[in-house]
Structure 1
């Protein structure tokens, strides 16, 4: 997405974090969780649920 100039939305991060959770990529998911601030997205309940 970033290579094409498309900024991720809050929905994009929910999907990515959920996918990382389902396949066991915890570190990868945590990296994306931390990168949300770079796009001005505040952590919401949905994100924390995925991280747990």
Structure 2
């Protein structure tokens, strides 16, 4: 017999797995961007510059 508590435990476990997966995906980005100051990091797109527009720095 399945219980609501069992479902809650499964959802909590799944939440933890997703959080670990996201952390493992983000860690390499920290290494790549680690030496830059926040002002030097430019987003790929912004409200003033739509995605796909070319801009030379």
Same-fold call, TM > 0.5? Answer: no
TM-score (norm 2): 0.30
TM-score (norm 1): 0.33
